[in-house]
Structure formats: C-alpha cells, structure tokens
Amino acid sequence: MTSTRAATTATYAAFIGSGFAFASWAARIPQVRDQLELEPATLGLVLLAIAAGSLLALPLSGPVVTRFGSAKTVAAMALLLALALTVVALGALAGVFPVVIGLAMLGFANGAWDVAMNVQGTVVERRLGRSIMSRFHAGFSLGTVAGALLGTLMIALNVPVTAHLLGVAVIIAVSIPWYAQRFLDDRAETPEEPGDGTVKPSALTAWREPRTLLVGVFTLAFAFAEGTGNDWISVAAIDGHHVSPALGTLAFAAFLTAMTIGRWFGPGLLDRFGRVPVVRVLCAIGVGGVLLFIFAPNPAYAFAGTLLWGVGVCLGFPVGMSAGGDDPHRAAARVSVIASIGYCAFLAGPPLIGFLGEHLTVLRALIVVAVMLGLAALVADSVRPLPRTPEVEQVDRRKAGAQEQ
C-alpha cells in the first residue's frame, strides 16, 4: 500500500512538473514567434489555442478522475503533454498549424492534469489531517521558476527551441508517470455508498450545488487577482510608475516571491485560525496592497504594494481546491467545477484589464483587482470546511492504521 509520505512527495512532483513543463514552453514563445514570423495579433490567436484546450478539458476532467482516479489521469495527461511539446517543437520548424494543434493538446493535458493533481492533493491533505494544499501550489510556483531559468539558460547557450522542448518532453514523460504510481487511491478513499438502493450521483450534478458554485466564484476572484498580477504588474510599473524595464520585471519577481513564501507558510495559519478568518484577512491585505501599488507616491511604495498584493492572493486558489475536496465522495466533480469557474479568470482578466487600460491607463484599471478581492471576502463563508460524516470518519480510521506501511 502506498504510504502517505510517498504520496505527498509524488504530489509535490506532479505540481512542480506541471509548472516546469508550462514555463519551459512559455520561456521560448519569443523564439517561436521569430521562427514563424508571427505578428502580435497572430501570436495572440495562436496562444488562444491553449485556453481552448483547457476549457475543453476542465469540465470533462471531473468525470474522468471519478472513473479512472487521479493517478491514471495525471500519468496519461503527462504523456499527452509530452506529446504536445513534441508537436510544438517540430511545428516550430514546420509552420503555424502544427504549433496550434500542439498548443491545444498542451492546454487540454494541462487542464486535466491540474484537476487530477488537486484532487490528489485533497486526498493527501485529508489523510495528513492538516492543511498542505497551498504548499503544493508553492511547488507549482517553484516549477515555473525552474522552467523559466532553464529556458533562459537554453537561450543563452543558443540551444534551438526544438531540442529544448524535446528534452523537456522526455523528462515529463519519464518522471511524472513514475511518480503518479505513488499516489493514494482517491477512489479507495471514498466512503462506500449505503446499501439502500441510492444511486451514486453523477459528476455533473456538482454544477447544481450552490456551495460548489460559490466556492467557484471565490476561486475565480482570487484567480483574477493572481492572474492580473502575473500579466500586468510589470507593464503597470513601467508605464504607470515610470520605472526601467529591469525594475518593472523586479516588481513582478517581488510579487511572485511574496506569493510563493505565503503559500509555503500558509498551512500553519489555516490550521490555527481556520480558512474563513485567514482568507478574509488576506483579502484585506491584498486590497491594501493593490491600492498602495496603484496610488503609490514613488516606486518604493509601489514595490511594497506588490509584496502585499502577493501575500494577499497566495492562499485563495489552494483554499478553493481544498474546499472542493472536503467530501471525498464528491471531490473530483467539485474540484473540476471549481477549477473550471476559476480558470475563466485567466481568460477574462487580460482582455478586461487591457480594455480598461485603453481608457483609464493600465495602472488605474487594476482597481478591478481590489473589487474582486472584496467579492472574495463576501463569499468567503462558502469555503468553511464541511462537517465530517460518520462514513468519512470510518474510512479515515481504517486508512490511518496503514498510513506508513
């Protein structure tokens, strides 16, 4: 039987690998653009293929994980993502069409992988009996840093895009399925259905659950605040506060660093004070950070604002995933729905800020982020842990005895 310790390590590997793979591609976008001679508008349409693939995968991933389990789903999606990177790598030599196909595959694989590893994260978190989800998401952040640094090294050494992405594809195809074998069986963690003829609910019924939808709104608000920071902090610092490009990038790095540190140390706060009080305090910190960044009288205050912004958004998405997994019987379906709603922010955020930026400046447009964090605070009660049923208690006692076997 898989030990909880091994499953925890494997879950970290899945999160790190996901971030590493995606950042490896993202680091080479400029070179792919140059090789294919793409105009900015055309490049934007090409990159939209990733979002299209993810949108297709997210609602389907709940039923898939429910039926096949998170281990098989992550392993299969890692192989598909490796194939997608291979198609993109070869497409960079052949033309735009194969790159679009490869990116759509990448988006699909990444979306389903994301849901499955978050489901496994909720299983590990429940088995450990303490909050750890945000640390898994910190692992994803570390993976993106590693992928970006490797991409920078490959560019500095003049390694071709094709060779680089093919190498990453091999790493992902070999390592992630190997680690996924050490996942806990999330289906075995599910309490058995009562023998009263009750029909097991469909995974799609989660879309009709008010709490699940509210948790989705909560997650969307935090995803919007996080994604907007990723996309626009550098631009807003350079254009709005008139700092150099290097300092604008440093402001973005400060945001990422604060968010990663917050995710690593956040579990202790969640276990001590509970989800709802912690996320409401973080919403207040985030709102303060965003407003400080927008209205800062000088760049030093703006940098302080990015740090507070990063701390403020660090736990929202992980807490939403944990809330979706409170009931092991419904975890896969609920996490799928919550992720599907949350990821809409990554699609709507960039064009909304861009549109408002045309009329208000990008810096002033970021006020929307403060509004979204205020919305998250209003619906924060939705992430309060569900009461544990006797069936779940029984399963946990049975599993605890075999925890370190």
pLDDT digits (tens, 9 = 90+) for 58-71: 888 888 888 899 99
Choice between 345 and 181, residue whose per-residue pLDDT is larger: 181
| 336 vs 342: CA distance, rounded Å | 10
Is the pLDDT reported for residue 172 higher than 50? yes
Q: Please tell me whether residue 24 adopts helix, strand or coil conformation.
A: helix
Sorted by where each starts, the structural domains of the chain and their CATH numbers stand as: 4-185 (1.20.1250.20), 206-383 (1.20.1250.20)
Choice between 40 and 66, residue whose per-residue pLDDT is larger: 66
The stretch 179-198 carries a mean pLDDT of 67
| Mean confidence (pLDDT) of the chain | 86
| 110 vs 62: CA distance, rounded Å | 14
Is the pLDDT reported for residue 199 higher than 60? no
pTM for the structure as a whole: 0.78
| 340 vs 342: CA distance, rounded Å | 6
Choice between 331 and 217, residue whose per-residue pLDDT is larger: 217
In the chain, DSSP finds a helix count (H) and a strand count (E) of: 16, 0
The per-residue pLDDT for range 364-392, each reduced to its tens digit, is 999 999 999 999 999 999 999 988 655 55
pLDDT score recorded for residue 218: 97
Query: What letter does residue 381 receive in the DSSP assignment?
Result: G
In contact, 293 and 312? CB cutoff 8 Å:
no
- Closest alpha carbon to 338 in 224, 226, 215: 215
- Closest alpha carbon to 212 in 74, 299, 336: 336
pLDDT score recorded for residue 254: 85
The stretch 274-300 carries a mean pLDDT of 96
* Distance set, CA 404 to CA 2, 5, 7, 8 (Å): 8, 7, 11, 12
CA of residue 76 relative to chain centroid, distance: 19
Portion of the chain with pLDDT greater than 70, in percent: 90
Query: What letter does residue 386 receive in the DSSP assignment?
Result: P
Most confident segment among 112-116, 250-254, 376-380 = 376-380
CA of residue 289 relative to chain centroid, distance: 22
Q: Please tell me whether residue 389 adopts helix, strand or coil conformation.
A: coil
